[in-house]
């Protein structure tokens, strides 16, 4: 039987996603109370990183340790992956020795090829197209602060990137309305937008989009791998900064999120990210709890 993978949020049903989110908050409470819970004793997670990371690495590694298991860090720089060993061969070998594999890479097709040849669950820890683990944390965070997100208005401001695509998936699974505000030429994948058109609208004006928002989310202008576009993007995105004036158009109790790392003064101002309505620190911490819930779901 082929293993259960988590390559995009759509690998979970709506009910399964809700179950993982609720469990994430339970695991958080248990962790805070000091309850020892080790369902993954002697189990091993391989973590393959072809891009940089702080939150993702620390949360998966800490999560595995807290669950009584172990995590192995592999980078393309010092494994045979970086020397051209085929993905398919790497998948067969690595998955024969561990219980799950987490991958952060560039093309989504790479993680799909790995998963197709893996005998254990594969978790997407960010590709150029999706970042589903971050969405688990974001949705857990919204739920903890404001209750159910169903029927709410979520506004994505900025690049139609991997995070934005995962927000589109979340809108479908959790029934919220997503308005995406991005500069012309930086829209999300059109096929994805068309597929979930009943949940998603794309505008090219941030002010119009943010009106009556319950949650405003942004991300860096240039993602990993786009560093050489930074200067052009700074110009193209100049009217897509989340600042106090923009937030004042949202609902009074609107939350602000950012997956981090953030560039203060570029996509978000300091007074917004460091304001009490910003839940970025909870969002970052929840990576730990949400991914523990995911690991438990996939492996127990
Ligand atoms: N948000 C996020 O994935 O952070 P890292 O790049 O630090 O893992
Ligand atoms: N969109 C960003 C997210 C970083 C967590 C990137 O891909 O670099």
130, 7 contact by CB (below 8 A): yes
pLDDT at residue 77, rounded to an integer: 87
pLDDT digits (tens, 9 = 90+) for 183-200: 999 999 999 999 999 999
Rounded to the nearest angstrom, the distance between the alpha carbon of 263 and the centre of ligand 2 is: 12
Does the active-site annotation cover 182? no
* Cis preceding linkage at 163, omega within 30: no
> What gap in Å lies between CA 81 and CA 275, rounded to an integer?
42
pLDDT at residue 75, rounded to an integer: 94
| CA-161 nearest atom, ligand 2 | 1
According to CATH, the topology of domain 9-130+287-299 is Rossmann fold (3.40.50)
pLDDT digits (tens, 9 = 90+) for 246-299: 999 999 999 999 999 999 999 999 999 999 999 999 999 999 999 999 999 999
How far out from the chain centre does Cα 175 lie? 18
Q: Where are the domains of the chain?
A: 9-130+287-299, 134-283
Q: Which of 134, 140, 143, 291 is catalytic?
A: 134
Residue to mutate, 55, 126, 132, 182, ligand 2, most ligand atoms under 8 Å from C-beta = 126
> What average pLDDT does the segment 212-229 reach?
98
> What is 134-283's CATH number, 3.40.50.300, 3.40.228.10, 3.10.20.740, 3.40.50.1370?
3.40.50.1370
φ, ψ dihedrals at 196, nearest 5°: -115, 35
Mean pLDDT taken over the chain: 98
> What gap in Å lies between CA 206 and CA 131, rounded to an integer?
23
pLDDT digits (tens, 9 = 90+) for 18-76: 999 999 999 999 999 999 999 999 999 999 999 999 999 999 999 999 999 999 999 98
> What gap in Å lies between CA 210 and CA 153, rounded to an integer?
9
Q: At a CB cut-off of 8 Å and minimum separation 6, what does 106 contact?
A: 50, 51, 127, 128, 225
pLDDT digits (tens, 9 = 90+) for 164-184: 999 999 999 999 999 999 999
Rounded to the nearest angstrom, the distance between the alpha carbon of 88 and the centre of ligand 2 is: 25
Does the active-site annotation cover 134? yes
pLDDT at residue 85, rounded to an integer: 95
φ, ψ dihedrals at 8, nearest 5°: -140, 170
Does the active-site annotation cover 92? no
Burial of 17 (0-12, 13-18, 19+ CB in 10 A): buried
Q: Which of 43, 57, 104, 258 is catalytic?
A: 104
Pocket-forming residues, ligand 1, beta carbon under 6 Å: 53-56, 126, 134, 259-260
pLDDT at residue 78, rounded to an integer: 87
Q: Which of 182, 219, 282, 289 is catalytic?
A: 219
Whether pTM exceeds 0.85: yes
pLDDT at residue 181, rounded to an integer: 98
215, 155 contact by CB (below 8 A): yes
9-130+287-299 shares its CATH topology with 134-283: yes
Please count the other Cβ atoms lying within 10 Å of the Cβ belonging to residue 86.
12
pLDDT at residue 168, rounded to an integer: 99
Q: Which of 66, 233, 259, 289 is catalytic?
A: 259
Ligand 2 lined by 53 (C-beta under 6 Å):
no
Residue 1: which pLDDT band, with cuts at 50, 70 and 90?
confident
pLDDT at residue 2, rounded to an integer: 87
Does the active-site annotation cover 194? no
pLDDT at residue 57, rounded to an integer: 98
How far out from the chain centre does Cα 182 lie? 19
Does the active-site annotation cover 108? no
> What average pLDDT does the segment 233-247 reach?
98
Rounded to the nearest angstrom, the distance between the alpha carbon of 230 and the centre of ligand 1 is: 19
């Amino acid at each position: 039987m082929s293993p259960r993978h988590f390559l995009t949020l759509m690998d979970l049903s709506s009910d399964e996603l809700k179950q993982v989110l609720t469990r994430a908050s339970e695991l958080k409470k248990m962790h805070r109370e000091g309850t020892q819970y080790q369902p993954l004793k002697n189990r091993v997670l391989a973590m393959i990183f072809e891009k940089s990371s702080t939150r993702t690495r620390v949360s998966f590694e800490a999560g595995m340790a807290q669950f009584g298991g172990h995590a192995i860090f592999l980078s393309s720089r010092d494994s045979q992956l970086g020397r051209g060993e085929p993905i398919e061969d790497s998948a067969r070998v690595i998955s024969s020795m561990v219980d799950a594999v987490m991958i952060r890479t560039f093309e989504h097709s790479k993680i799909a090829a790995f998963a197709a040849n893996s005998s254990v669950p594969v978790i997407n820890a960010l590709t150029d197209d999706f970042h589903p683990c971050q969405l688990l944390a974001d949705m857990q965070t919204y739920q903890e602060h404001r209750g159910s997100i169903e029927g709410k208005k979520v506004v994505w401001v900025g690049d139609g990137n991997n995070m934005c695509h995962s927000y589109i998936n979340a809108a479908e699974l959790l029934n919220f309305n997503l308005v995406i505000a991005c500069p012309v030429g930086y829209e999300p994948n059109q096929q994805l937008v068309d597929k979930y058109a009943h949940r998603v609208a794309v505008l090219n004006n941030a002010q119009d989009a943010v009106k009556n928002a319950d949650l405003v989310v942004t991300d860096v202008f240039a993602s990993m791998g786009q560093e050489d576009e930074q200067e052009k993007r700074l110009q193209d995105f100049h009217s897509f900064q989340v600042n106090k004036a923009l937030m004042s158009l949202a609902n009074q109790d609107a939350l602000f999120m950012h997956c981090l790392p953030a560039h203060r003064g570029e996509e978000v101002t300091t007074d917004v990210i460091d304001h009490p309505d910003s839940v970025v620190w909870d969002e970052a911490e929840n990576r730990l709890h949400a991914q523990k819930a995911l690991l438990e779901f996939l492996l127990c």
